A and B are shown apart, each in its own frame.
Chain A
């Protein structure tokens, strides 16, 4: 019988110092970069024009840049997109500037006419256009903030109801770790933050909580089962017992996100990258971060509650055999 981590008895809690240092070492450069540079948000949020085009062979980024230089699109970002003959041209709108709603529309027209004039109409094909006014971008920003705020709130409420507060606090701390490391990751690789990437971030929160909750469910169960053991032993035991599941599920999820990253095309790669990283950090935090924090909380505020009534009253789940 093939089994990963069969009957594992790793002393996971003992390495908490190393885990904490690793997390901080990873977060610091990314987050300081974030403070310094800010997020690279997509034009969905800032307003502006994005045009994706596939050009015939021989046209390079520099050619497009020099074609655009004499026009008002002089500052536009031009990048290859997935393949050497696919380009994305982004013209952001300066938020300080007084912008009329027509500006975004004009950008597309200017780009199209310049490209036709310089390269000829048959040498390129416009694949995708996005022209978003700053007003719509601002609205989306507000809506995303509301969504994030409400999602966090809802998760807290669920944890509050289902878990004793020490567990809840530890789970939330682990989630905060995941958000911070993922933000650091986004900042380090300068990933463009689009709405889909935000969706990825929210999904990571759900996923990582999922991992943590499975482990904590086992802790609750073991607390009832082994009343005489210390909380340290029980935590270690629970992590080890759920380790096969944690690793296996992370593995299959990772298989899916990697397939997305390498096969699903450039349009979704930002999301796939965030998800891939998120699965790793979420797994890391539910093994190495959540439980040590729970232990620390339990030591700081010891109480019968952890072993007490609230933990047992799982709806429909009390199994007596």
Chain B
């Protein structure tokens, strides 16, 4: 039983590899593997920013606030990569608030700007003539030449991008590329065909797919100045918002589109999703302004049978639909036999571009990484000192039985940390304080038991029966006494902010862990200890 608990605890505490998406200096992303103990740290310990946003109604009331919040949420989710953090948390709280939590970010101003920037929707025709595809050999050549040509020059222009190719490659060990083992000076030179080798042609003109694990790597290639210069005139590249699954593997769509929008969000007035009663197909209906209708009528007539990408904030949403005929002020996008929810999501994207929702920040908390680091250091120091003090008191007061209590305390620490890890609880600064506090409280159960055993011994019981009676008689007091603390902690959890929730969780886990330790671990130790002695001597307690 004990062995099982310990095994489980250790399992939860093994440092493991976690992929972290990190933003490089130039704003591009890369994946790195980090080895760490899987306990979540709160923003106050990791450093980071917490933002609560509400609709900005300072310039008049917002019509249909629920829809406005959903639109804003869609927009912020679209920008998820821009934040450049591993696990951005973006969620709607209640019906009127969006909470964004970004751990490890150092520049609150930038994060706020990303969140509050108004959305931009545009529709662009994809690369129908496959000009990008035809230009790929030339781009590869340009990349190769750039790699051959003086490495310092390239590095000066795009230092982190080159670094990133290396960084990403050395960590994702893939055998089939020569980039993996290359060293920095000749990476670009040795690549077989730099860009083209990563791209798979998609189903429609201008669509390509990239293996999801290659996404960031390819992203940094297409951001190189060399690549941008080598692109055919009038063509730009945009990523799809989300990876698509093909043959069970995730691929990220990449779209080559015209550099000119056929229409933008400002001409859109509304969009809604329905199911076509005849075909059972999910459709999104949209309405344009009078002027938008004229523009779109002309453009759509020109581009019949062409594909049109829906781009919100630089991300292509869904696979571009085909233009069947000339469209005027209103039109519809057929999605086929998909769930209505998908059509609703697309309608939301269109509305988000049409009716930007202004947000105001109602709650902002930012903690710099150095302060968080200091907090961890000081908290750990306090925990160690507290533990040592408690250990000394117990050893002096209870002698050998005190050693049992010390062993129990070590188990207790393991259990508590494992509990935090396994429940995915977040450790915050108050949580750390709660942990230190619980070190003092944790021995209480042991103290109650030992005191009881002492009393039983004085009634001239044998050590064995004194131990049994001590455990039995101490239990009601232990349970009664802890129920109130658990209750108050539960209410704190229910009503508190993230930091205080961390405190409540550690306290609850701590109390439960101390009960488990006292009841199972200490008791077993006591019994083992007694069995070792054939002659029942004085109990050192």
Complex Cα distance, B487 from A169, in Å, reads 19
Complex Cα distance, B481 from A245, in Å, reads 13
Interface centre among A147, A211, A218, A321, by most B CB within 10 Å? Answer: A147
Complex interface: stretch among B141-149, B413-421, B429-437: B429-437
Complex Cα distance, B390 from A37, in Å, reads 39
Assess the A268–B484 pair: CB atoms within 8 A.
no
3 nearest A-B residue pairs (beta carbon): A256-B440, A206-B485, A253-B440
> In this complex, what residue of B is CB-closest to A146?
B495
Confirm or deny: B338 has a beta carbon within 8 angstroms of a beta carbon on chain A.
no
Assess the A265–B430 pair: CB atoms within 8 A.
no
Least Cβ–Cβ distance between A69 and chain B, in angstroms: 25
Confirm or deny: B423 has a beta carbon within 8 angstroms of a beta carbon on chain A.
no
Assess the B108–A129 pair: CB atoms within 8 A.
yes
Enumerate chain A residues within 8 angstroms of B489, measured Cβ to Cβ: 202-203, 206
Least Cβ–Cβ distance between A204 and chain B, in angstroms: 9
**A101 in contact with B494 given A158-B487, A252-B440, A260-B437 (CB within 8 Å):** no
A136-B363, A206-B484 given. 12 additional CB < 8 A pairs? A133-B362, A147-B494, A158-B487, A195-B499, A196-B433, A202-B489, A203-B437, A252-B440, A259-B386, A267-B44, A267-B371, A268-B379
Confirm or deny: A306 has a beta carbon within 8 angstroms of a beta carbon on chain B.
no
Complex Cα distance, B481 from A154, in Å, reads 14
**6 sampled A-B residue pairs with Cβ under 8 A:** A105-B364, A131-B365, A199-B504, A203-B489, A210-B481, A252-B447
**Residue from the list B374, B381, B484, B496 in contact with A195, Cβ < 8 A:** B496
> In this complex, what residue of B is CB-closest to A264?
B382
Enumerate chain A residues within 8 angstroms of B499, measured Cβ to Cβ: 195-196
Question: CB-CB contacts of B484-516 with A at 8 A, as 1s and 0s?
Answer: 110111011011110110011001000000000
Enumerate chain A residues within 8 angstroms of B201, measured Cβ to Cβ: none
Chain B residues 494 to 541 lying within 8 A of chain A, measured CB to CB, are 494-497, 499-500, 503-504, 507, 541
Complex interface: stretch among B51-59, B221-229, B266-274, B329-337: B51-59
Assess the A255–B484 pair: CB atoms within 8 A.
no
Least Cβ–Cβ distance between A122 and chain B, in angstroms: 15
Assess the B378–A263 pair: CB atoms within 8 A.
yes
Complex Cα distance, B394 from A150, in Å, reads 36
Assess the A214–B430 pair: CB atoms within 8 A.
no
- Interface residue count on the B side (C-beta < 8 Å): 77
Confirm or deny: B245 has a beta carbon within 8 angstroms of a beta carbon on chain A.
no
Enumerate chain B residues within 8 angstroms of A268, measured Cβ to Cβ: 375, 379, 429-430, 432-433
**A275 in contact with B475 given A100-B58, A151-B488 (CB within 8 Å):** no
Assess the A143–B495 pair: CB atoms within 8 A.
yes
> In this complex, what residue of B is CB-closest to A243?
B451
Assess the A132–B363 pair: CB atoms within 8 A.
yes
Assess the A144–B390 pair: CB atoms within 8 A.
no
Complex Cα distance, B366 from A52, in Å, reads 10
Complex Cα distance, B484 from A207, in Å, reads 8
Question: CB-CB contacts of A49-72 with B at 8 A, as 1s and 0s?
Answer: 000100000000000000000000
Confirm or deny: A3 has a beta carbon within 8 angstroms of a beta carbon on chain B.
yes
Assess the B480–A102 pair: CB atoms within 8 A.
no
Enumerate chain A residues within 8 angstroms of B496, measured Cβ to Cβ: 143, 147, 195, 199
Complex Cα distance, B375 from A127, in Å, reads 12
Least Cβ–Cβ distance between A55 and chain B, in angstroms: 14
